[in-house]
Structure 1
């Protein structure tokens, strides 16, 4: 029996015209967040790490446009816009892990 894979965005929050956070339901009670922004900044990664530490989200990632600051900090995974396929694969992996554990 095949399981259905569906990633639902349950909220979208624009932050000061510079970025947008997307809350994604991985499984019942397990939410991830993806911040979409032009650059991969330490401040964004720190803010996302705080959300995970406070258990608002179980996972956080950053999607950015420019390549001037590669990599993430505070354990936050970052994805250049050219790597959206890798981001989707990661979200599906997380969703499957939470479904198996649930």
Structure 2
């Protein structure tokens, strides 16, 4: 049930929703000049460098609004990227209690 709730909340993220890095282990690899590799939960993916930098910026526990997570893109795209990273467990809502 908790996993379903987490996924459902990711799908309904509002632009103003505050997000932070989750405690899930995350490796951010080097950039190829445009994209950086991520390793999370056994999944390898490439994200724009701006997304990798945003994730690095949240490493200290700070939170950011979903609409402002991905700098340089419109609000809808930023929220969409934040939703995907929330589904993967990389991000979580800042109001969520950590276990």
* TM-score, normalising length: structure 1: 0.29
* TM-score, normalising length: structure 2: 0.30
Larger relative contact order (Cα-Cα within 8 Å, sequence gap ≥ 6):
2
Q: Which has the higher strand share?
A: 1
